[in-house]
Amino acid sequence: KQEVTQIPAALSVPEGENLVLNCSFTDSAIYNLQWFRQDPGKGLTSLLLIQSSQREQTSGRLNASLDKSSGRSTLYIAASQPGDSATYLCAVPSGSARQLTFGSGTQLTVLP
Amino acid sequence: ETGVTQTPRHLVMGMTNKKSLKCEQHLGHNAMYWYKQSAKKPLELMFVYSLEERVENNSVPSRFSPECPNSSHLFLHLHTLQPEDSALYLCASSQESVRVGYGYTFGSGTRLTVV
């Protein structure tokens, strides 16, 4: 059974810092990995989707990497801003690939 | 607008009420999902519909009843709920294919409170 772990559970940084969020998964036979952002009480916004054949994906100040063999992904946020404050979730398809298994998320607070 | 629209955004219902949650996707996807997010817990898959046919039901209580009349619409019918069913209910869609590799798009969710 696939398990997804995210470290740290919470992170508070001053504005302007570069930061790294970590995601690990137990079953490396994944099709892809997706990073989401969730604001309090809201739905999920997709940030980046990395296919199993890719090493990384970039979107603006965000860069996500994937190392299937070690079962790890990182989300790098450059020059953090208060507007980046949210919970960040990683998820991988598992089973028949119809089910997304989520981590518990990293709650990020960027202080002005 | 994410391409997946959920209504209502908020719902308060008594334990004896019957209500329905609605989800509509405008992305041309062929699979739709219901997820439940309770406080301090990871998201849990409730139901999967692929090509309008229910393919997985993760042991969800019968007081939750899904309906998928076509590939663009998904409903979750609720009856005789318990206070512990209070949560954020999220709808998602994706495009299933032989080459699995497409991402999921989520709606904004319905915040349900059972009193």
- pLDDT the model gives residue A90: 96
Percent of chain B, pLDDT > 70?
Answer: 94
* pLDDT bucket at B91, cuts 50 / 70 / 90: very high
- A96 close to B (CB below 8 A): yes
Q: How far is B80 from chain A (nearest CA, A)?
A: 24
Question: What pLDDT sits at residue B2?
Answer: 60
Q: What tokens were used for A96? A: 């028949």
The region that residue A97 occupies, defined by phi over 0 for left and psi between -120 and 50 for alpha, beta otherwise, is left
Contacts of B112 in chain A (CB under 8 A): none
- Chain B: nearest CA to A10, how far in angstroms? 12
pLDDT tens series, chain A, 112 aa: 889 999 999 999 999 999 999 999 998 888 889 999 999 888 999 999 998 889 999 999 999 999 999 999 999 999 999 999 999 999 998 766 567 889 999 999 999 9
Contact B43 A89 (CB under 8 A): yes
A69 Cβ under 8 Å from any chain B Cβ? no
SS3 B100: coil
The pLDDT of residue B100 is 58
Output the pLDDT for position A96: 63
Separation CA B109–CA B58 (nearest Å)? 19
Average pLDDT, integer, range B55-62: 83
The pLDDT-based confidence of B40 (bands split at 50, 70, 90) is confident
* Inter-residue contact A99 to B42 (CB < 8 Å): no
